[in-house]
């Protein structure tokens, strides 16, 4: 008790000790406030990122490629009606593999959020895969890094269409097939999704031409594509629904039956 009283009197009556004490107290308080501020900022950043993902999904849904454009020419007047064809839902990747022959992802959205098999999955950098199965709260996705994945891809510059497949070796590369050897190619050419896909909107980024060759006697190129999506670092994705897919498939099945 006497030691506490003595300390109080020294601090009170000595200008030097008084200033030192309060400077130390202020420094400690500033450090505590800084820590609290950093924690608060981290929590707010997480909420901001989630809000930004929802906003990006809404923006994707408003992009021209997400609409079906029905243009009717009548007496030199174009009557254009826009109908929503693709919708985007945000999701988090909670499991992912890249080092197997057949790779899958797990997302935190499922049937209760309207997710169904054969919906596309994309991220900010490009395509990711296709929904395979769903439960009430989760979805499993067949990754582009899977032997059964086959994506209709287009050379953005020339418009020629081929099939993109993964050969099971490098998670940053894929192979583009069925591009005839008379097509002009260059390293760095952009590869995007084509109109032949009923799962992905046209023009979604896939990657760029990294290398190509046409062996003697082959009619088609062997093209290596550098994938734009970093599959080893996936966190936020968008699940894509083509709301007109059923109508398209029904018509195409009818044509198949008539052949």
Here the CATH number for the domain that contains residue 165 is 2.40.10.350
The 10s digit of each residue's pLDDT in 170-206 is 999 999 999 999 999 999 999 999 989 889 999 999 9
- Burial of 172 by CB count in 10 Å (0-12 exposed, 13-18 middle, 19+ buried)? middle
240-246-248 Cα angle (round to 5): 100
Please report whether residue 78 resides in a domain: no
pLDDT band at 88 (very low <50, low <70, confident <90, very high): very high
Spatial distance between the Cα atoms of 221 and 203, rounded to a whole number of angstroms? 22
Tell me the CB-side half-sphere exposure of residue 66, using CA atoms within 13 A: 16
Last residue of a domain, one of 23, 44, 60: 60
Q: For residue 195, is it within any domain?
A: yes
Asked, for residue 236, whether it belongs to a domain, the answer is no
Range of the domain at 223: 151-229
Count of structural domains within the chain: 2
2's enclosing H/E stretch is helix 2-13
Residue 215 maps to a domain: yes
Enclosing H/E stretch for 173:
strand 173-177
Closest by Cα among 151, 97, 138 to 239: 138
Query: What pLDDT, on the 0 to 100 scale, is given for residue 110?
Result: 95
Say if pTM beats, i.e. exceeds, 0.85: no
CA distance linking residue 171 with residue 98, whole number of Å: 6
Q: Give just the sign of the alpha carbon dihedral 196, 201, 203, 206.
A: negative
Residue 98 domain flag: no
Query: Which pLDDT score, from 0 to 100, does residue 243 have?
Result: 85
Helices within 63-82 (DSSP H only): none
Euclidean distance between CA atoms 247 and 185, whole angstroms: 36
The candidate with the shortest Cα–Cα distance to 95, out of 78, 107, 83, is 107
Asked whether residue 77 is domain-assigned, the answer is no
Residue 135 belongs to a domain: no
Which segment, 4-8, 44-48, 146-150, is predicted with the most confidence on average?
Answer: 146-150
Is residue 67 included in any domain, yes or no? no
Q: Which helix (H) or strand (E) holds 73?
A: strand 67-74
Write down which residue in 12, 39, 60 finishes a domain. Answer: 60
């Amino acid at each position: 008790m006497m030691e506490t009283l003595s300390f109080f009197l020294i601090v009170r009556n000595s200008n030097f000790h008084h200033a030192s004490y309060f400077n130390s107290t202020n420094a400690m308080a500033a450090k505590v406030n800084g820590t609290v501020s950093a924690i608060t900022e981290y929590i707010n950043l997480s909420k901001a990122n989630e809000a930004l993902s929802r906003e990006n999904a809404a923006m994707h849904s408003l992009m021209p490629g997400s609409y079906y454009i029905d243009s009717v020419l009548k007496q030199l007047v174009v009557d254009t009606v826009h109908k929503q064809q693709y919708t985007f839902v945000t999701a988090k990747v909670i499991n992912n593999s890249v080092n197997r022959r057949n790779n899958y992802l797990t997302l935190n959205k499922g049937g209760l959020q309207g997710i169904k098999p054969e919906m596309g999955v994309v991220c900010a950098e490009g395509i990711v895969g296709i929904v395979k199965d769903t439960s009430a709260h989760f979805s499993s996705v067949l990754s582009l890094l899977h032997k059964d994945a086959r994506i209709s891809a287009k050379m953005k510059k020339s418009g020629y269409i081929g099939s993109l497949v993964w050969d099971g070796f490098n998670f940053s590369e894929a192979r583009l097939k069925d591009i005839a050897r008379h097509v002009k190619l260059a390293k760095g050419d952009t590869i995007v999704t084509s109109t032949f896909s009923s799962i992905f909107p046209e023009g979604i980024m896939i990657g760029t031409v990294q290398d190509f060759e046409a062996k003697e006697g082959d009619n088609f190129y062997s093209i290596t594509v550098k994938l734009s999506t970093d599959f080893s670092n996936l966190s936020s994705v968008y699940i894509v629904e083509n709301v007109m897919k059923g109508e398209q498939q029904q018509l195409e099945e009818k044509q198949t039956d008539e052949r």
